């Protein structure tokens, strides 16, 4: 059984990789700025996190950071495992379709972490997938009606800053946990990591 907290802290230190919070800072700050201008998700049902629009995939480092946060908070329990499995099964996320052009068709799914009410997402911003943090309302009270978008420039800026280090670290995690994938739908990735750290 791998101690995920120790393992991640060792990786940050040995690879000079800034921690989860630091690598998301630029996106989290922009989100806070939008919120201070009333461009927030408070009155939305979380449309972008449902099967209508969500196909979020995560790589090993993002998945491990989400996993660690949930484990430390005592939230990665049997109930969550069941919910993740249900999401996978209901949306056939373990069966991605190849388009035959070296790429796969991404299935959409309603995220396991989408909660009802004003909180919206059940994950902490310090570990949330980059793509989730970068998708925000463009207008006041946008309510998800086509008035939200990804801040591509900011996502690229973040990626440019950390891409090579994250690529290197993803390789190390894959080797350590014997993972065969680069990115998976988040629920599948979390279940894979959960199994891998037990071995």
Give residues in contact with ligand SF4 (CB under 6 A): 41, 44, 46-49, 54, 56, 111, 113-114, 120-121, 123, 128-129, 132, 135-137, 142-144, 148
Handedness of CA 104, 105, 111, 117 (dihedral sign): positive
Measured from the CB atom, the residue of 2 and 122 that comes closer to ligand SF4 is 122
DSSP state of 37: T
Question: Minimum distance between the CB of residue 112 and ligand SF4, rounded to whole angstroms?
Answer: 7
For the bound state, the minimum distance from the C-beta of residue 138 to ligand SF4, rounded and expressed in Å, comes to: 9
Q: What is the DSSP string of 73-130?
A: TT--SHHHHHHHHHHHHHHTTTSPEE-SSS-EEPPP---TTB-SSTT-B-S-TTTS-H
Judged by beta carbon, residue 10 or residue 90, the one nearer ligand SF4 is 90
Query: Closest distance between ligand SF4 and the C-beta of residue 15, in Å?
Result: 25
What are the φ and ψ backbone dihedral angles of 110, each rounded to 5 degrees?
Answer: -80, 125
Closest CA to 174 of 183, 187, 161: 183
By DSSP bridging, strand 104-105 and strand 57-58 are unpaired
Q: Which is nearer to ligand SF4, 123 or 179 (CB)?
A: 123
Count CB atoms within 10 A of the CB of residue 47. Answer: 17
Which of 24/128 has CB closer to ligand SF4? 128
Q: Which 3 state secondary structure label does DSSP give 135? A: strand
Entry field: residues in the chain: 199
CB nearer to ligand SF4: give 56 or 191. 56
Q: Give me the least distance between CB of 165 and ligand SF4, in Å please.
A: 23
CB of 77 to ligand SF4, least distance (A): 18
């Amino acid at each position: 059984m791998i101690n995920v907290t120790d393992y991640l802290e060792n990786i940050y230190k040995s690879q000079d990789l800034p921690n989860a919070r630091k690598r998301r800072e630029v996106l989290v700050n922009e989100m806070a700025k939008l919120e201070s201008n009333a461009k927030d998700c408070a009155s939305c049902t979380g449309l972008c996190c449902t099967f209508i629009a969500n196909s979020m995939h995560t790589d090993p480092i993002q998945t491990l950071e989400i996993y660690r946060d949930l484990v430390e908070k005592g939230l990665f329990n049997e109930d969550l495992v069941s919910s993740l499995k249900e999401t996978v099964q209901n949306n056939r996320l373990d069966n991605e379709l190849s388009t035959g052009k070296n790429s796969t068709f991404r299935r959409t799914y309603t995220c396991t972490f989408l909660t009802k009410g004003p909180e919206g997402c059940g994950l902490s911003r310090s570990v949330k997938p980059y793509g989730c943090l970068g998708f925000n309302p463009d207008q006041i009270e946008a309510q998800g009606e086509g008035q939200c978008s990804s801040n591509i420039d900011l996502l690229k800026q973040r990626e440019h800053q950390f891409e090579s280090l994250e690529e290197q670290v993803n390789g190390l995690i894959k080797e350590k946990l014997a993972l065969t994938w680069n990115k998976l739908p988040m629920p599948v990735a979390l279940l894979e990591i959960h199994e891998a750290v037990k071995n």
